[in-house]
Amino acid sequence: AGVPQDPRVLDSMLPYLTAYYGNPHSRTHAYGWESEAAMEKARRQVADLIGADSREIIFTSGATESNNMAIKGVARFYKSRKKHIITTQTEHKCVLDSCRSLEGEGFQVTYLPVKRNGLIDLKELEAALQPDTSLVSVMTVNNEIGVKQPVHDIGEICRAHKVFFHTDAAQAIGKIPMDVNNMKIDLMSISGHKIYGPKGVGAIYVRRRPRVRLEPLQSGGGQERGLRSGTVPTPLAVGLGAACEVAQQEMEYDHKRISQLAERLVTKIMSEVPDVVMNGDREHRYPGCINLSFAYVEGESLLMALKDVALSSGSACTSASLEPSYVLRAIGTDEDLAHSSIRFGIGRFTTEEEVDYTVQKCIQHVKRLREMSPLWEMVQDGIDLKSIKWTQH
């Protein structure tokens, strides 16, 4: 689902899309200096949001690139002595895919399972650590089910074992307080468009003390301390910085408002419709990402009714393999319930009217689709669906 850009962010970017078009890396003229100053201000704004030093912030094209950099970059730098990486089964595809590609290079990867509530077991993490582990990568907030991992505890464990801790914080920063020192985070991926900033920009936090080294993915003119060559897109960086600053100001108010709206949505739906399951821990979560399974109703068919609301489904009718979401599978959701899941996103610009509209449509269409569902009919007739021998095509 897309997220709108905050108008304050757009305002901050406009001068750099029009009048101030200098290359921020050009040291020799005033146009360059203006752009450079703007870029450095943005860097500080990003750093301030996470309690980092601005020298530790590198601009990238987005969290996907940042994740690639963190995982491949650290693994490859330390590969002469360390060949093992730990991550989880519920990470974003770009993390999982980066790990898979490293396996192809001869690295060993442990994909930690998660409990039914979506959280990792800290004892399992500790047990998985090996003397040759270079990196642990665990996302802070999951993009499908909204659960929040115990990053503070993970940081403690990793620091004690002298293993670098990377977290994909794309869904977390600007929404919940993050502090790289309190949480003992060594690398962090940041996404611009997830915090109402522009698309096409993100950042990676790379700790200086103790120093984290990484092999750059992108070779070139040596920009961004040699870690990420390429001209930094000043307007986008400015937008990311502004988005971070705005998020810092709005965080508390947004969190309270979004929590109320989320509570409203879930309570209203669950009070009107039976057989609805919330996926992921009820407590350790970010409230703005809600994943519900509506038993006996297929997710995509429900989405058709809600097409003017920004939602997505855990069903995979459009995927070639007909396999539902791997995140839902990892938390042990029955396959038919996984096909019946919908993710609701509530954000800074979501209104109460939109929530009520979504709720009303959702209730109306779940009821309608259940009337059309052979599964609902069988359950009403007292048939145990698990006792049926289903055909396969």
Partner 1 sequence: GLCVTRCPRQVVDHYENPRNVGSLDRNAKNVGTGLVGAPACGDVMKLQVEVDENGKIVDARFKTFGCGSAIASSSLATEWVKGKTVDEALKIKNTDIAKELCLPPVKLHCSMLAEDAIKAALADYKLKQDPGREESAKA
Measured between its terminal Cα atoms, the distance across the chain in Å is: 32
Q: Is 387 in the site for partner 1 (CB under 8 A)?
A: no
Q: Is 385 in the site for partner 1 (CB under 8 A)?
A: yes
Residue listed under structure tokens 């990676």: 204
Minimum CB distance to partner 1, residue 342 (Å): 13
- Length of the chain measured in residues: 393
Please tell me the distance from the alpha carbon of residue 337 to that of residue 339, in angstroms, as a whole number.
5
Among residues 83, 84, 339, 348, the one that binds partner 1 under rule CB under 8 A? 339
Residues 6+ apart with CB under 8 A from 207: 56, 180, 185, 186, 187
**Helix (H, G, I), strand (E, B), or coil: what is residue 83?**
coil
Identify which range of 121-129, 208-216, 281-289, 311-319 contacts partner 1 by CB under 8 A.
311-319
Please tell me the distance from the alpha carbon of residue 375 to that of residue 296, in angstroms, as a whole number.
6
- Taking each continuous run of H as one helix and of E as one strand, the counts in the chain are 13, 11
Identify which range of 39-47, 56-64, 256-264, 368-376 contacts partner 1 by CB under 8 A.
368-376
28 or 318: whose CB is closer to partner 1? Answer: 318
- Which 277-306 positions form the footprint of partner 1 (CB under 8 A)? 296-301, 304
Among residues 231, 249, 319, 360, the one that binds partner 1 under rule CB under 8 A? 319
Among residues 324, 327, 344, 362, the one that binds partner 1 under rule CB under 8 A? 324
19 or 388: whose CB is closer to partner 1? Answer: 388
48 or 275: whose CB is closer to partner 1? Answer: 275
Q: Is 343 in the site for partner 1 (CB under 8 A)?
A: no
Provide the b/e sequence for 170-208 (b: ≥16 CB within 10 Å): bbbbbbbbbebeebbbbbbbbbbbbbbbbbebbbbbbbe
Please tell me the distance from the alpha carbon of residue 56 to that of residue 225, in angstroms, as a whole number.
10
Which two structure tokens, joined as six digits, stand for 299?
A: 């997710």
Identify which range of 73-81, 107-115, 192-200, 319-327 contacts partner 1 by CB under 8 A.
319-327
Residues recognised as catalytic: 317
Please tell me the distance from the alpha carbon of residue 317 to that of residue 374, in angstroms, as a whole number.
18
Binding mask 144-183 for partner 1 (x = CB under 8 A): ----------------------------------------
Among residues 64, 279, 312, 315, the one that binds partner 1 under rule CB under 8 A? 315
Among residues 53, 336, 354, 356, the one that binds partner 1 under rule CB under 8 A? 336
Q: Is 80 in the site for partner 1 (CB under 8 A)?
A: no
Of 72, 40, 69, nearest to 55 (Cα)? Answer: 40
Residue 29 φ/ψ, nearest 5 degrees: -145, 165
Q: Please give the radius of gyration of the chain, using alpha carbons only, rounded to the nearest integer.
A: 22
Which two structure tokens, joined as six digits, stand for 230?
A: 């390429």
Q: Alpha carbon 264 to chain centroid distance? A: 23
Beta-sheet pairing, 311-313 with 289-294: unpaired
211 or 393: whose CB is closer to partner 1? Answer: 393
Q: Is 219 in the site for partner 1 (CB under 8 A)?
A: no
Footprint of partner 1 (CB under 8 A): 296-301, 304, 315-320, 322, 324, 334-336, 339, 371-377, 385, 388, 390-393
